Structure 1
């Protein structure tokens, strides 16, 4: 992430030189303020020569005029450095977006470009702020040291040690401050995204009676941001301490050391001049450095991480997640509906590798839907943990998994809006999904994708086909079908499940019929006392419940897997 910054500085030698020259002019008041005040008092007003005093004050006023001219040129010089930096970052955003679109075979993601362009603007502004603050601090410190040396070198003994200690405290705390500031900014972004998603889906939340689950999820984001804020506040105390030690302790030392300075030949004007150097130049410079690096520096790092892809918590590569994103791992998972209830799932260990196709069978009420809810993060285990791609299931980005329950939801709107509600899909992608799932006849009956629909216009089976097609179009690589085909005939169910089996990713099917289990690569049998998994042949030998189900199964019927 530092390479764009280094390139921006290396290719701007002339702007950097111009910046240095005009910085000398801009910091002219820092160089002359103490000397002008000291001379105006000691050689002018205190000596009965007001003309001399006003002359020195005029010198100080002239320095401010020079600083005003210098400030304008400094802004132009900084702009000549940061604008090429901005253009390079923006070029990277556009090129990477076009490259991903070309590989994925889709049009450019203009929304991604817009979002990244905002990050580019933030990075540009933060880079300009960092350059301005660091440059101002360096030139101001040099000016103050030269000015104090001109006044009375002995005063440096009282000023420099605490200033160096305060600066050192800040620099030592900067890594921790940067980490916690970054954590707070990311937590703030996640909270905003969560709240935006919630407000945009209020209709669906109400329809699915998901108020408590959504409230818990948004509340988790808010709690994370509050924790990050408290952590940042604690480390900010070190910043306050560094300002107190480096910026204001020298004032106390100069006041306390006034008798000694007077003994070294200093006059009242010299004392006031030294205090002016500290309060008007040195302390503000340190404060600006602490503020600039502590906020703008961290914002620059976070923005560059977003632009260059280093900070994405769940990264998408060439239109698909990394291979581990759909691996499901349950370690010692126990869950009960209430503190005094018997566990529905007890001490379950299970691993679903990326690309696994597993069917879950067992009597009604045995915990199959509970298992699906735990894997999707709708429920949290009482003990143990559920990980999806190494991330806790309840903290996983919803875009990376999809759960289809038994009662499919269709909202009022066009058929196309219903199908593409969870994904941005091209017309060809929608056509392919409709064909794969078997929704073609329903589309024809309704009159095409633009047809306005609601749940009352569709049969339960048609609603399930719409929901299945919607899930098929998502980029999610973990799909859980919780008896999501129970209203389909066996042929339609087979077609839909086989389509999902061919689709990349991990597929978990809560089986409604034994045929669903036979189509899976692995079968998980839940019988209340133990949980076993294996192939069809392995389960026939190892699970009496499964063997009994198979023994009573008649292939010519649509017998359900519920004893």
Structure 2
């Protein structure tokens, strides 16, 4: 790959031979300055001051000053020639990045235009300047040494050649180490960009250690790359010492011999001036400039022009942008679940921060209307295949940790409605992660419709809605139909919105074609959109991991009943309130060794842990919510009575100061059944 970049660079320079010739012509003036920086002081000493001719000495110093003036003129012209060489490269890169952004939908095109193109431009300009300066400064200095005395060359030329050879040998290795470090740094930044927005999800799933281990791997990789780069960078120091400092030592050590063999004192001073004022600065610029800017230029050019060929008009290949800071590796066929670390992120980057208000209060539950046919079963079978089956499932976060799920057996027929309850941190969300395939059990098996988890067939048959819902910038319809491959009729979309309770928000936003600003939505409003999106998905198994925690009890009930009534659908709810458990056909109580299963009535009789959670009292009668701040709501949450509280009338607030949301806690009847498990 490096050879390809170098080859394209040579072709680019050959096509601009006239600019290179003009650059070399103006650089000759700098060669004259390098020649005079040692020759003029030598003549001023030998022919002027040491010979008692002060005027001659001053004259030679004036010649040295004239050389500096001519060198400054040459440097000014050199910069103009460098601009003629560099700016076409910048324009070419801008055109390619813009074309790739348009043709390939590259989300990193803006970064390429605003940052990486400028990095390439500056690195290329610096590379041209330091390479040209070293070549012409070295030529002028060596010519001056030879003109003073050929005996001076053995003390300067061999160390200089050895230094350049050492640096040239190490250059390719240093470039690879520099690129490895940059790649490791980008990988760490990209991984943190994926992990940090989902910290609450990791905490809710009890996967902090796993997330930390993933970050630690990237940190260790960058540390190894940095150490390797530092070790090989010692060669730069060695080359600089050999070519720039060793000649000074050799000249001083050989001074008696040189003076005895006809080398004048002025010539010796001139040689020292050549080494310290010309060769050493030029070599230092070359080592640091070419070693750093050269590798950065190679890396950036590969990023900006990954498919460039000799023909500038070759169409760009459709490749994923290398500089996209938000990796989006989906889990099988379900784009809502998904990074390789098990963090649920959607393909579009979420732009809204988690809100502090709950979602809109929904009217009384209405029977859902589904216009699309039920999802077909994967294959005909003479006996019903369980919608979900867990056999002897055991999982722990680490080999020495106590199992969060221990030997769990669970079988759900199609159309079941299961509520999972238990104290905070007991493993409820871990169970949904096991079913979704985000984590793999240490022992036992998980299957969805007979398909093993994890696996693409099982992933296509389940949809997970986490506690923090994700909404991306786009229209309402694009958000709602994101999980459907085929177009969704508007009538079906409106029916789904009505079933879940999204209709008031849908009308307030302006209909399905209205744009969505995620940052302008409350947490509850984002949840309603995510719930409707999952309702419209073809996956028969819906996993609600406290997905209604920001909704009031009536809106929560409506959404759960809608999912439970989906034709051919199976529902698993991590319960947020006691009402979710009462509505379910079956309840799973997770409480370590006291794990139990059964109906609500059965568990009230047989499970002390369940009775402790729900209080053992009958469900309160269904009714509409009272005005805001009336303390009669069974779950302690009421809709806002009017504008001025928490933004608008679509939000709900807990009893207490306006705008606050009641946090999850282990409340009794009518309250939350724990937080994330």
Structure 2 residue corresponding to 1:419, chosen from 466, 471, 482: 471
Match for residue 289 of structure 1? 286
What is the 5 A alignment of 1:255-274?
255-274=252-271
Cα distance in structure 2, aligned partners of 1:447 and 1:300? 50
Q: CA RMSD in A?
A: 4.8
Deviation of 1:94 (Å): 1.3
Cα distance in structure 1, aligned partners of 2:441 and 2:235? 38
What SS is found at the alignment partner of 2:482? Answer: helix
TM-score (norm 2): 0.54
Match for residue 126 of structure 1? 123
Does residue 429 in structure 1 map to residue 498 in structure 2? no
Match for residue 10 of structure 1? 14
Structure 1 residue corresponding to 2:29, chosen from 25, 31, 40: 25
Structure 2 residue corresponding to 1:43, chosen from 37, 41, 47: 47
Query: Deviations along 1:247-303, whole A, 9 cap, x unmatched?
Result: 111111111111221122111111111111111111111111111111100110111
What SS is found at the alignment partner of 1:176? Answer: helix
Structure 2 residue corresponding to 1:236, chosen from 226, 233, 236: 233
What is the 5 A alignment of 1:188-203?
188-195=185-192
What is the 5 A alignment of 1:213-362?
214-309=211-306, 316=320, 336-340=396-400
Deviation of 1:120 (Å): 1.2
Cα distance in structure 1, aligned partners of 2:100 and 2:251? 57
What SS is found at the alignment partner of 2:481? Answer: helix
Structure 2 residue corresponding to 1:409, chosen from 467, 473, 477: 467
Cα distance in structure 1, aligned partners of 2:15 and 2:234? 38
Does residue 183 in structure 1 map to residue 180 in structure 2? yes
Cα distance in structure 1, aligned partners of 2:71 and 2:46? 25
Query: Deviations along 1:294-351, whole A, 9 cap, x unmatched?
Result: 110011011111112379xx952899x999995999xxxx975444468899xxxxxx
Match for residue 492 of structure 1? 566
Summarize the Cα distance change of 1:484–1:324 in structure 2 as closer, same or farther, 3 Å threshold. closer
Q: Does the aligned pair in 2 maintain the 1:15–1:80 contact within 8 Å? A: yes
Cα distance in structure 1, aligned partners of 2:280 and 2:563? 78
Cα distance in structure 2, aligned partners of 1:317 and 1:469? 32
TM-score (norm 1): 0.64
Deviation of 1:32 (Å): 1.3
Deviation of 1:463 (Å): 7.4
Summarize the Cα distance change of 1:278–1:458 in structure 2 as closer, same or farther, 3 Å threshold. closer
Structure 1 residue corresponding to 2:531, chosen from 459, 465, 475: 465
Match for residue 552 of structure 1? none
Does residue 160 in structure 1 map to residue 218 in structure 2? no
Summarize the Cα distance change of 1:339–1:13 in structure 2 as closer, same or farther, 3 Å threshold. closer
Structure 2 residue corresponding to 1:82, chosen from 86, 103, 108: 86
> Which structure 1 segments of 5+ residues have no match?
102-108, 346-362, 383-392, 394-400, 412-417, 473-478, 498-511, 514-563
Higher helix share: 1
Structure 2 residue corresponding to 1:94, chosen from 98, 121, 124: 98
Summarize the Cα distance change of 1:485–1:209 in structure 2 as closer, same or farther, 3 Å threshold. closer
Q: Does the aligned pair in 2 maintain the 1:468–1:496 contact within 8 Å? A: no
Match for residue 517 of structure 1? none
Summarize the Cα distance change of 1:428–1:316 in structure 2 as closer, same or farther, 3 Å threshold. farther
Q: Which moved more, 1:153-162 or 1:439-448?
A: 439-448
Cα distance in structure 1, aligned partners of 2:398 and 2:76? 68
Deviation of 1:433 (Å): 2.8
Deviation of 1:211 (Å): 5.7
Deviation of 1:61 (Å): 0.6
Query: Deviations along 1:410-455, whole A, 9 cap, x unmatched?
Result: 46xxxxxx421xxx55666335337769643343242348397555
Q: Does the aligned pair in 1 maintain the 2:471–2:529 contact within 8 Å? A: no
Summarize the Cα distance change of 1:189–1:406 in structure 2 as closer, same or farther, 3 Å threshold. closer
Cα distance in structure 1, aligned partners of 2:525 and 2:92? 53
Structure 1 residue corresponding to 2:509, chosen from 450, 468, 488: 450
Q: Does the aligned pair in 1 maintain the 2:209–2:397 contact within 8 Å? A: no
> Which structure 2 segments of 5+ residues have no match?
309-317, 334-338, 341-393, 406-419, 422-426, 444-453, 511-519, 547-559, 572-583, 586-677
Q: Which moved more, 1:243-252 or 1:27-36?
A: 27-36
Match for residue 56 of structure 1? 60
Q: Does the aligned pair in 1 maintain the 2:396–2:402 contact within 8 Å? A: yes
Deviation of 1:189 (Å): 3.0
Cα distance in structure 2, aligned partners of 1:227 and 1:428? 47
Summarize the Cα distance change of 1:325–1:71 in structure 2 as closer, same or farther, 3 Å threshold. farther
Cα distance in structure 2, aligned partners of 1:51 and 1:202? 79
Q: Does the aligned pair in 2 maintain the 1:337–1:344 contact within 8 Å? A: yes
Summarize the Cα distance change of 1:279–1:456 in structure 2 as closer, same or farther, 3 Å threshold. closer
Summarize the Cα distance change of 1:151–1:214 in structure 2 as closer, same or farther, 3 Å threshold. same
Q: Does the aligned pair in 1 maintain the 2:463–2:534 contact within 8 Å? A: no
Deviation of 1:23 (Å): 0.7
Deviation of 1:28 (Å): 2.4
Deviation of 1:16 (Å): 1.1
Q: Does the aligned pair in 1 maintain the 2:480–2:533 contact within 8 Å? A: no
Cα distance in structure 2, aligned partners of 1:70 and 1:18? 11
